[in-house]
Amino acid sequence: MSIPDASSPLSPVSELSLEDNEHENANLSLLFDRYKDKFTRFPNEKGWMGQNLYMYQGFWYSSENAFSIETMMALQDTFQAHSTDIYLATQPKSGTTWIKALVFAIVNRNRYKNDSSTNPLLITNPHKCVPFLEIEIVGKTPTYVHANTPRLFSTHIPYTALPQSILGSGCRLVYMCRNPKDVLVSWFHFSNKLNDKYHVQMTIDELFEVYSKGLMPYGPYWDHVKEYHKVSSEHPTRILFLTYEDMRKDTANKVKRLAEFLGYPFTEEEEAKGKVEEIVKLCSFENLKEVNKHGDFRKGVPNNSFFREGKVGGWNNDLTTEMSQILDDITKAKFHGLDISF
Ligand SMILES: Nc1ncnc2c1ncn2[C@@H]1O[C@H](COP(=O)(O)OS(=O)(=O)O)[C@@H](OP(=O)(O)O)[C@H]1O
Quick one: average pLDDT of 67-83? 86
Measured from the Cα of 314, ligand 1's closest atom is 28
> What confidence tier does 113 reach under pLDDT thresholds 50, 70, 90?
confident
Quick one: average pLDDT of 45-50? 94
- Contact between 258 and 174 (Cβ < 8 Å): yes
- Contact between 65 and 156 (Cβ < 8 Å): no
Measured from the Cα of 156, ligand 1's closest atom is 21
Between strands 152-155 and 239-243, the pairing is unpaired
pLDDT at 319 over 80: yes
pLDDT at 326 over 70: yes
- Contact between 86 and 172 (Cβ < 8 Å): yes
End-to-end CA distance of the chain: 33
pLDDT at 56 over 90: yes
Which H helix or E strand runs over 125? none
> What confidence tier does 24 reach under pLDDT thresholds 50, 70, 90?
low
Angstrom distance (rounded) from CA 85 to CA 149: 8
> What confidence tier does 212 reach under pLDDT thresholds 50, 70, 90?
very high
Catalytic residue positions, numbered: 156
Angstrom distance (rounded) from CA 268 to CA 121: 25
| C-beta neighbour count of 196 within 10 angstroms | 11
| Per-residue model confidence (pLDDT) at position 123 | 93
Residue 177 β-bridge partners: 243
- Give Cα 141 distance to the centre of its chain: 18
pLDDT at 104 over 90: yes
- Contact between 42 and 55 (Cβ < 8 Å): yes
Q: How far is CA 294 from CA 96, 125, 302, 307, in A?
A: 19, 10, 7, 12
Quick one: average pLDDT of 167-191? 96
Between strands 52-56 and 59-61, the pairing is antiparallel
Q: Flag the least confident range among 96-105, 108-117, 225-234.
A: 108-117
Quick one: average pLDDT of 117-141? 78
Set out the domains of the chain in order of their start, with CATH numbers.
18-334 (3.40.50.300)
Residue length of the chain: 342
Q: Kindly give the distance from the C-alpha atom of residue 313 to the centroid of ligand 1, in angstroms, as a whole number.
A: 13
Nearest C-alpha to atom 19 of ligand 1 is from which residue? 93
Angstrom distance (rounded) from CA 156 to CA 62: 12
| Per-residue model confidence (pLDDT) at position 10 | 34
For residues 165 and 247, which has the higher predicted lDDT (pLDDT)?
A: 247
pLDDT at 87 over 90: yes
Angstrom distance (rounded) from CA 324 to CA 319: 6
| Per-residue model confidence (pLDDT) at position 58 | 96
| Per-residue model confidence (pLDDT) at position 63 | 86
Q: Kindly give the distance from the C-alpha atom of residue 289 to the centroid of ligand 1, in angstroms, as a whole number.
A: 10
Q: Kindly give the distance from the C-alpha atom of residue 42 to the centroid of ligand 1, in angstroms, as a whole number.
A: 32
Of these ranges, 67-81, 181-195, 270-284, the one predicted with the greatest mean pLDDT is: 270-284
For residues 141 and 48, which has the higher predicted lDDT (pLDDT)?
A: 48
Angstrom distance (rounded) from CA 181 to CA 329: 12
Burial per residue of 241-279, b for 16 or more beta-carbon CB atoms within 10 angstroms, e otherwise: bbbbbbbbeebeebbbbbbebbebebeeebeeeebbeeb
| Per-residue model confidence (pLDDT) at position 26 | 62
Pocket test for ligand 1, best of 124, 307, 315, 342 (most atoms within 8 A of CB): 307
Q: Kindly give the distance from the C-alpha atom of residue 309 to the centroid of ligand 1, in angstroms, as a whole number.
A: 8
pLDDT at 294 over 90: yes
Quick one: average pLDDT of 139-154? 63
Measured from the Cα of 92, ligand 1's closest atom is 21
Angstrom distance (rounded) from CA 275 to CA 119: 15
> What confidence tier does 2 reach under pLDDT thresholds 50, 70, 90?
very low
Residues with CB under 6 Å of ligand 1 are 90, 92-98, 182, 186, 189, 283-285, 288, 306-310, 314
